């Protein structure tokens, strides 16, 4: 490709107020351009990179025997209704009607479609396990797009779906795990594999592949001694025992003229934070229940764990009016002791969820559901009985993992994930069955596996750039060689043209900068664009009957012969 013909220009504008390096560099270097928020044009350079990432991912999918298909973009809404996902993911599902008023979901993920496709066939146990996958545009009606490619509203995703028996699943899951690790390595990304929350996808467990980066949105914890890694949403940790050797004291109401924070309680009673009970009241819009989360004072509530424990979907904080009027309590003085007696009477459903940390403390203190009234020596079982006891605590850096090592907090970009779906979808969808060796119909045991192509591109730029621009790994660079011709002498032009022909003949993808611009501009563009190998032809190199070669990530250039270049550099 000749630069003079390339659509999409570089820009040296410093003023772009994009916070994320990948966003700024990809825009400045002419890889992407925004349409509206969260919807992007991929320019020729960007599309080449995207295609190369797809090639790498495809190779690794084929390597584990997954078979590529392409599904429709518009999914019949009935399929989503069949699995109840029109309600659970309604916040981001986009729908559209055709001329006959048939309703469709714009596909944001395709579990239902995959199951629907498979159940159209009569499958034998001999066909199992198998996987189908696709690269296709996915639509997410995100509340807020951000960071260029990091969070967008439509993007190409590789999504794979495995079908098999429960006994086969473990191996399949491991195959995807290994294939993902290999693919990301080839793409130049170091990834951490972390246990994560399934969210609305369903199933019992899943893992995210995360590329560590300050630009990322995923917070996760790693215990480097044991290898334990988990997303903040699900991270577990050791809860230290506090004062279990203490005698139980009598429950004691006291006057407590204080503010409403935890610190106010600590100061007033001059007792440790951990001995205080933290009460956080939520309302679940999905199930119309109040959920009172209680936890040891030195911990915080993990809302993801809480939702899992309580079976809630749309959690929000309760308002002060609700605390007073619906539940007869008082903000800042909520207590599980005799909580919401009034509320229960007035017809509100209340669920009390206690964190297991409350079992590590005796004679706790906290509010009394009335303003300026506290209780001392509160004890679980005796003074209050939670409806649910579970781990609903947020892990903190420095805590010990269950395997003993210290939890280190990291931030990263989630580039891929693998989900165990189990029978979740095949239970909800009719006839998702194969015939086993005894001739009976059995449900498939499923997994699903995603990689965001554009986000992967952003993560790679994030991991591979310097102050001058992008530094692409060879495997996905839009071109392998940046051939710069300096000066317009006939001899130089001719030599550069010839070299360009030779590189093409050797099937080396080359971007030939044949523009009549200054050397400085060409070098700057070469650096910004990030093509890994730079070759210069100029009057100077011509005199030596050689060319100049430099790698993007190295400082020094070398003058070598053409033969040497072709034989050992490219």
Report whether 71 contacts 110 (CB < 8 A): yes
Enumerate residues 218-257 that contact RNA by CB under 7 A: 218
Enumerate residues 470-489 that contact RNA by CB under 7 A: 486-488
Residue with tokens 């972390």: 194
Smallest separation (angstroms) from RNA to the CB of 181:
18
Kindly provide the b/e burial profile for residues 154-187, where b requires at least 16 CB atoms within 10 angstroms of the residue's own CB. Answer: bbbbbbbbbbbbeeebeebbebbeebbbebbebb
Smallest separation (angstroms) from RNA to the CB of 260:
20
Give the number of C-alpha atoms closer than 13 A to the C-alpha of residue 406, restricted to the C-beta side.
Answer: 5
Smallest separation (angstroms) from RNA to the CB of 92:
6
Enumerate residues 273-312 that contact RNA by CB under 7 A: 303
Stretch that binds RNA, among 128-136, 196-204, 258-266, 426-434 (CB under 7 A): 196-204
Report whether 272 contacts 263 (CB < 8 A): no
Stretch that binds RNA, among 149-157, 343-351, 395-403, 426-434 (CB under 7 A): 149-157
Among 13, 122, 440, 545, indicate the residue that binds RNA (CB under 7 A). 13
Among 48, 52, 85, 138, indicate the residue that binds RNA (CB under 7 A). 138
DSSP letter for each residue of 313-345: SSEEEPPHHIIIIIT---TT---STTTTHHHHH
Kindly provide the b/e burial profile for residues 490-500, where b requires at least 16 CB atoms within 10 angstroms of the residue's own CB. Answer: eebeebbbebb
134 scored as a contact of RNA (CB under 7 A): no
Alpha-carbon gap, residue 260 to 262, rounded angstroms? 7
17 scored as a contact of RNA (CB under 7 A): yes
Stretch that binds RNA, among 115-123, 250-258, 261-269, 450-458 (CB under 7 A): 450-458
Alpha-carbon gap, residue 211 to 200, rounded angstroms? 23
Which pair of structure tokens corresponds to residue 282? 């939520």
Give the number of C-alpha atoms closer than 13 A to the C-alpha of residue 33, restricted to the C-beta side.
Answer: 11
Shortest CA distance to 145 belongs to which of 155, 157, 153? Answer: 153
152 scored as a contact of RNA (CB under 7 A): yes
Measured from the Cβ of residue 12, the count of other Cβ atoms closer than 10 Å reads 9
Q: With respect to RNA, which residue has the nearer C-beta, 2 or 146?
A: 146
Stretch that binds RNA, among 147-155, 259-267, 327-335, 473-481 (CB under 7 A): 147-155
Which pair of structure tokens corresponds to residue 51? 């295609």
Give the number of C-alpha atoms closer than 13 A to the C-alpha of residue 153, restricted to the C-beta side.
Answer: 17
Stretch that binds RNA, among 63-71, 143-151, 273-281, 429-437 (CB under 7 A): 143-151
Smallest separation (angstroms) from RNA to the CB of 568:
20
Stretch that binds RNA, among 152-160, 168-176, 220-228, 320-328 (CB under 7 A): 152-160
208 scored as a contact of RNA (CB under 7 A): yes
144 scored as a contact of RNA (CB under 7 A): yes
> CA-based diameter of the chain, in Å?
99
Which pair of structure tokens corresponds to residue 152? 């967008």
Among 145, 292, 361, 495, indicate the residue that binds RNA (CB under 7 A). 145
- # residues near RNA by CB under 7 A: 70
493 scored as a contact of RNA (CB under 7 A): no
Alpha-carbon gap, residue 553 to 531, rounded angstroms? 10
Q: Any idea what DSSP says for residue 241?
A: P
513 scored as a contact of RNA (CB under 7 A): no
Enumerate residues 515-554 that contact RNA by CB under 7 A: 516-521, 523-528, 536, 538-541, 548, 550
347 scored as a contact of RNA (CB under 7 A): no
Stretch that binds RNA, among 18-26, 110-118, 160-168, 175-183 (CB under 7 A): 18-26
Stretch that binds RNA, among 186-194, 242-250, 342-350, 451-459 (CB under 7 A): 451-459
Smallest separation (angstroms) from RNA to the CB of 513:
10
- The angle at the Cα of 284, spanning 106 to 96, to the nearest 5 degrees, equals 15
Q: With respect to RNA, which residue has the nearer C-beta, 92 or 246?
A: 92
92 scored as a contact of RNA (CB under 7 A): yes
Shortest CA distance to 211 belongs to which of 187, 232, 197, 192? Answer: 192
- The angle at the Cα of 495, spanning 489 to 498, to the nearest 5 degrees, equals 140
- Give the interface with RNA as residue ranges (CB under 7 A): 9-20, 23, 34, 36-38, 91-92, 138, 140, 142-147, 151-152, 155, 157, 197, 199-201, 208, 217-218, 303, 315-316, 414, 417, 452, 454-455, 468, 486-488, 516-521, 523-528, 536, 538-541, 548, 550, 557
């Amino acid at each position: 490709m000749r630069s003079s013909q390339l659509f999409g220009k570089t820009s040296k504008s410093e003023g772009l107020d994009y916070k994320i390096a990948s966003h700024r560099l990809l825009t400045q270097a002419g890889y992407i351009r925004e349409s509206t928020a969260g919807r992007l044009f991929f320019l020729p350079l960007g599309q080449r990179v995207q295609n190369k990432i797809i090639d790498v991912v495809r190779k690794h999918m084929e390597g584990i025997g997954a078979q590529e298909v392409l599904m429709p973009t518009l999914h019949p809404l009935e399929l989503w209704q069949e699995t109840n996902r029109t309600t659970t993911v309604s916040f981001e599902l986009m729908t559209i009607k055709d001329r006959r008023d048939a309703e469709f979901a714009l596909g944001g993920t395709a579990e239902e479609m995959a199951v629907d496709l498979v159940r159209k066939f009569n499958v034998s146990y001999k066909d199992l396990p198998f996987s189908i996958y696709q690269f296709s545009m996915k639509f997410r009606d995100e509340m807020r797009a951000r960071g260029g490619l990091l969070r967008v509203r439509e993007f190409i995703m590789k999504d794979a779906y495995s079908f098999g028996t429960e006994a086969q699943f473990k191996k399949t899951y491991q195959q995807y795990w290994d294939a993902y690790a290999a693919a990301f390595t080839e793409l130049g990304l170091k990834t951490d594999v972390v246990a994560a929350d399934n969210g609305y996808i369903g199933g019992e467990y899943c893992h995210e592949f995360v590329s560590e980066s300050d630009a990322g949105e995923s917070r996760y914890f790693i215990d480097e001694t044991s290898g334990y890694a988990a997303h903040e949403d699900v991270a577990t940790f050791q809860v230290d025992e506090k004062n279990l050797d203490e005698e139980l004291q009598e429950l004691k109401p006291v006057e407590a003229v204080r503010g409403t924070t935890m610190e106010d309680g600590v100061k007033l009673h001059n007792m440790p934070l951990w001995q205080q009970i933290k009460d956080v009241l939520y309302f679940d819009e999905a199930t119309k229940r109040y959920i009172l989360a209680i936890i040891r004072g030195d911990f915080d509530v993990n809302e993801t764990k809480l939702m899992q424990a309580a079976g809630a979907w749309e959690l929000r904080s309760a308002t002060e009016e609700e605390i007073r009027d619906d539940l007869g309590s008082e903000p800042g003085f909520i207590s599980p002791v005799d909580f919401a007696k009034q509320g229960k009477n007035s017809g509100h459903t209340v669920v009390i969820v206690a964190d297991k940390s409350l079992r590590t403390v005796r004679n706790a203190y906290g509010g009394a559901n009335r303003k300026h009234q506290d209780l001392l020596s509160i004890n679980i079982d005796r003074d209050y009985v939670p409806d649910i006891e579970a781990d609903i605590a947020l892990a903190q850096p420095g805590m010990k993992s269950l395997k003993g090592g210290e939890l280190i907090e990291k931030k990263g970009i989630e580039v891929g994930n693998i989900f165990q779906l189990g029978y979740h979808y095949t239970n909800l969808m009719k006839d998702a069955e194969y015939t086993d060796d005894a001739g009976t119909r059995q449900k498939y045991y499923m997994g699903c596996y995603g990689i965001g192509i554009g986000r992967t591109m952003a993560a790679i730029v994030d991991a591979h750039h310097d102050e001058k621009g992008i530094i692409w790994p060879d495997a996905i660079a839009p071109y392998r060689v940046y051939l710069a011709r300096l000066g317009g002498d006939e001899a130089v032009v001719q030599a550069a043209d010839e070299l360009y022909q030779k590189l093409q003949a050797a099937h080396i993808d080359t971007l030939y900068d044949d523009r009549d611009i200054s050397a400085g501009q060409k070098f700057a563009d070469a650096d910004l664009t990030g093509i890994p190998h730079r070759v210069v032809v100029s009057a100077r190199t011509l005199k030596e009957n050689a060319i100049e070669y430099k790698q993007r990530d190295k400082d020094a250039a070398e003058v070598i012969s053409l033969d040497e270049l072709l034989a050992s550099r490219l």
